[in-house]
């Protein structure tokens, strides 16, 4: 292995010769061997750093052209574009479990872009701190990267996945418009419902969740960049924050604004807490929906068996022919993980002292993991389960006509108490509601047939 010597304010450090990172990244790599190769800084954060460093350089070119020359800008843009494209991912080795400000990841980006820009320029043109970090601080860049990555993950990944699942549920509704089945509350028989109505509840829940997530985007669009170390904007030229936000918007393809109060932006992570709460709400609904689906598909002979779902893989190493609702199970496990992440994010957001929150990497890691997991879980559930749902109409009809809660239709004709007596007798003697009602003398058989129509109860 060949090495080169890099230096920082603390002295010299040996770095692998084929790596673009520098001394501060190497120090972090050596001092924080925690979750190496597994819990590295999320790719979304690295991409966001590429965007913000490119935008900052462009803004600096306009604000301080004597420092950010056209030659520097050109080299920085090319290097940053490679970061954005993921071409330099192997040069970002740092883990989540580092400084709580994310300083070392900010310096990782500064060093990689500087060294790659120098390679592009063919000479030592750019300095990590003086040029790549110009008008910035780790304290405003990391929260900026968090917000950029959060907005892009929600807009480009989770919301589209949810929209596709919503469409899939709507297709199930449209394919089964008139099938009436027994409703259930408290895991007990209830009055009838159309299967399409039941599915519409799932669809509407996700539509509501998606709208709640969209409402969290506006606060996330406000960026800390320009606040520098403590929110005062020290060493950043006037107007840099607004201009940089405009550049970021153009590069990211979605709107971002400079935060009105940078002191808030550096210390409070309430926007991330708020947004993740909406993500958790969608996860909670997904858990409920997945449980409904696997209950309805339970069986195949000894359960409810009202629907069938795709048989994707063998379900047992000992019971031949057994098939399990595995897509429902992955959804429920993902939902549990997201709920745990929400707790971690809430606690982390409450921490830090004075002018800075110092739990930002763990907030970013958990937030992005939740969004990524939920989007992928929803997509898998749609493709491998929901699009293959088929109705067992015969079983639904059988369960419906076997339900004692159909007696509710008799309330207007014989009253609540007499209807309850009818249901109890039918249950105790295992006879039909018709037979019980006639035996008790509440209605004649002819009158019962005249007023008892379960299909009209929906």
Q: Which CATH architecture has domain 403-457?
A: Orthogonal Bundle (1.10)
Nearest to 316 by CA among 308, 326, 306: 326
Kindly report, residue by residue over 401-417, the tens digit of the pLDDT. 999 999 999 999 999 99
CATH number 1.10.3720.10 is the correct assignment for the domain at 3-134? no
Q: What is the mean predicted confidence (pLDDT) over 342-370? A: 97
Q: Which residues are marked as active site? A: 186, 316
CA 245 and chain centroid, separation: 24
Which of 282, 291, 281 lies closest to 330, judged by CA? 291
**Within 176-258, where are the H helices?**
195-220, 240-252
CA 260, CA 305: separation in Å to the nearest integer? 56
pLDDT at residue number 421: 97
**What tokens appear for 40 in the block?**
């590295």
Model pTM score: 0.95
Which residues does residue 184 pair with via DSSP β-bridges, in sequence order? 189
User: Cβ distance 277 to 345 under 8 Å?
Assistant: no
Asked if domains 140-394 and 403-457 share a fold, the reply is: no
Q: What is the mean pLDDT of residues 160-179?
A: 98
Q: Looking at the predicted structure, is the pLDDT value of residue 443 above 90?
A: yes
Q: What is the mean pLDDT of residues 423-432?
A: 95
- Fold classified for 140-394: Fumarase C; Chain A, domain 2 (1.20.200)
Domain spans in the chain, listed from the N-terminal domain onward? 3-134, 140-394, 403-457
The beta strand positions in 327-381, using DSSP E, are none
Confidence tier at 438 by pLDDT (50, 70, 90): very high
Higher pLDDT, 454 or 339: 339
pLDDT tens per residue, range 117-168 = 999 999 999 999 999 999 999 999 999 999 999 999 999 999 999 999 999 9
**Where does the pLDDT of residue 454 fall: very low under 50, low under 70, confident under 90, or very high at 90 and above?**
confident
Contact predicate 409/451, CB 8 Å: yes
Residues with Cβ within 8 Å of residue 262, at least 6 apart in sequence: 140, 224, 226, 227, 231, 232, 233, 241
pLDDT in tens, 306-344: 999 999 999 889 999 899 999 999 999 999 999 999 999
Taking the CB of residue 260, how many other CB atoms lie within 10 A of it?
Answer: 8
pLDDT (0 to 100) of residue 437: 96
Which pLDDT band, with edges at 50, 70 and 90, does 101 fall under?
very high
Residue 456 has pLDDT above 90, yes or no: no
Residue pLDDT, tens place only, 18-57: 999 999 999 999 999 999 999 999 999 999 999 999 999 9
- Report pLDDT for 311: 93
Q: Which residues contact 400 (CB under 8 A, 6 or more apart)?
A: 180, 181, 182, 192, 406, 454
Mean pLDDT of the chain: 97
């Amino acid at each position: 292995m060949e090495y080169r010597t890099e230096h920082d304010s603390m002295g010299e450090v040996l770095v692998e010769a084929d790596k673009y990172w520098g001394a501060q990244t190497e120090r972090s790599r050596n001092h924080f061997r925690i979750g190496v190769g597994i819990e590295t800084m999320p790719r979304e954060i690295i991409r966001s750093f590429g965007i913000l460093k490119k935008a900052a350089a462009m803004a600096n070119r306009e604000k301080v052209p004597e420092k950010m020359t056209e030659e520097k800008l050109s080299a920085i843009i090319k290097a940053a574009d490679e970061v954005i494209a993921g071409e330099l991912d192997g040069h970002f080795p740092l883990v989540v479990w580092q400084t709580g400000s994310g300083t070392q990841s900010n310096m990782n980006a500064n060093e990689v872009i500087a060294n790659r820009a120098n390679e592009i320029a063919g000479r030592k043109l750019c300095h990590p701190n003086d040029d790549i970090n110009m008008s910035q601080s780790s304290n405003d860049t990391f929260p900026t990267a968090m917000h950029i990555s959060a907005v892009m993950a929600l807009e480009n990944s989770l919301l589209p996945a949810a929209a596709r699942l919503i469409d899939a549920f709507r297709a199930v509704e449209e394919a089964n418009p008139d099938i009436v089945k027994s409703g259930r509350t408290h895991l007990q028989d209830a009055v009838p419902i159309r299967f399409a109505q039941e599915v519409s509840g799932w669809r509407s829940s996700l539509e509501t969740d998606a709208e709640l997530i969209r409402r969290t985007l506006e606060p996330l669009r406000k960026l800390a960049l320009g606040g520098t170390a403590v929110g005062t904007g020290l060493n950043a030229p006037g107007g840099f924050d607004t201009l940089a936000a405009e550049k970021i918007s153009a590069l990211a393809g979605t709107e971002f604004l400079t935060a009105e109060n940078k002191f808030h932006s550096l210390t409070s992570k309430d926007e991330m807490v708020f947004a993740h709460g909406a993500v958790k709400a969608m996860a909670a609904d997904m858990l409920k929906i997945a449980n409904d689906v696997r209950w309805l598909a339970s069986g195949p002979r000894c359960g409810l068996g009202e629907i069938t779902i795709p048989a994707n893989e063998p379900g047992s190493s000992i019971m031949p022919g057994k098939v399990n609702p595995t897509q429902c199970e992955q959804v429920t496990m993902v939902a549990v993980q997201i709920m745990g992440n929400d707790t971690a994010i809430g606690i982390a957001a409450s921490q830090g002292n004075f002018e800075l929150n110092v739990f930002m990497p763990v907030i970013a890691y958990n937030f992005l993991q939740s969004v990524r997991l939920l989007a992928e879980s929803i997509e898998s559930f749609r493709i491998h389960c929901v699009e293959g749902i088929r109705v067992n109409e015969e079983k639904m009809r059988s369960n419906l006509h076997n339900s004692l809660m159909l007696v509710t239709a008799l309330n207007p004709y014989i009253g609540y108490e007499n209807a309850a007596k009818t249901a109890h007798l039918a249950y105790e003697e295992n006879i039909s509601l018709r037979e019980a009602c006639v035996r008790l003398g509440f209605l004649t058989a002819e009158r019962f047939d005249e007023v008892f129509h379960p299909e009209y109860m929906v």
